[in-house]
Structure 1
Amino acid sequence: MRKRIYWLLPNLDSAKRTMDELLLARITERHIHFVAAEGADMTGLHAANFLQTSDLVQAAQTGMLIGAGIGAAAGVAVAYELASTAAPAAVAIAMAGIGAVLGTWASSMIGSSTPSRRLRRFEAALEKGEYLLIVDVPRTRVTEIEALLESNHPEGHFEGLEPNVPAFP
């Protein structure tokens, strides 16, 4: 299980040094992500992808739940109308599955084009030219990595800790 640390850095040089130090501290590149304003120089940094910068995952999860609920309700209504059906529960379950798939698909289309709600609070800093570091670290190393960042980068500042890192992004 990992925790996600958010850290704001003032410029590209500071971000590059931080990236190198995290790699030396044996944090793999796939767990280090940087976000900057559109068009900012990201040379030497591992840029965050759309899974970290959009609401795709959250939207898909919500769509799945809502779609399954609506599908199950529709399945119950259809099964009630078709009273002669031998397995009304199977109709409701099948309709819930279809609703979950359609809800996931529709919501993920919207979520992929929506900026992440988790990163909204950093918009002003990013527009000023700062770089946001998102690093996912094992729970046992959170204190160590925070201490490393604090001691080596007084120009940056800690912006929070997310207790549960999503499995995919």
Structure 2
Amino acid sequence: MPGSVIGKSLNLGYPGNVSRLADAIIDNRLVKATDTVNINFGDPAVLNPDNTYSRFGAAGTSVTFAGIAVREVKQTTDYFSSQGFYSPGQPCDVLARGSATVVCNVGTPSAGGAVYIRIATNAAFPGGVIGGFEAAADGTNTILVPGAKWTTGKMDSNRVAEVTLTQRNNP
């Protein structure tokens, strides 16, 4: 009797999950109280001069990447409408080095491939989101994330893929 399997592969997880714990460095700082944008799990974060975090690409923030917002301790209470977030004024866990799952908005990741973050819109890439991770460069509309690589090159049907931060970009 031959065996059978439903589906072809499992999903890679939820955005913001730490995927490999052996080398993870996670820092905790408050989200800037005056921010108007939440930092979602799996979003890139920036370190502000006042030792707080903001969502990468939020108005008035720098473009200096600090890490990926992860669900280290805080858990979402509604798994259907949102995957969770950190609100302004709340403590926020950010992966500074290690591996986590994120949404890849544009391109197809390749193992060891470069990771980009969109900083400006481009009508040629309708899936591009300012402050979102991408696997394809788009001139001056994206920036290369130093020390970030796509881990396996696999991406699930929700566009979730794994990123490894090989170095800390901020203290």
- TM-score category of the 2 structures, normalised to the smaller one: under 0.3
Which one has the bigger helix percentage? 1
TM-score normalised by the chain length of structure 1: 0.23
More relative contact order in 1 or in 2 (CA 8 Å, sep 6+)? 1
TM-score normalised by the chain length of structure 2: 0.23
Which one has the bigger strand percentage? 2
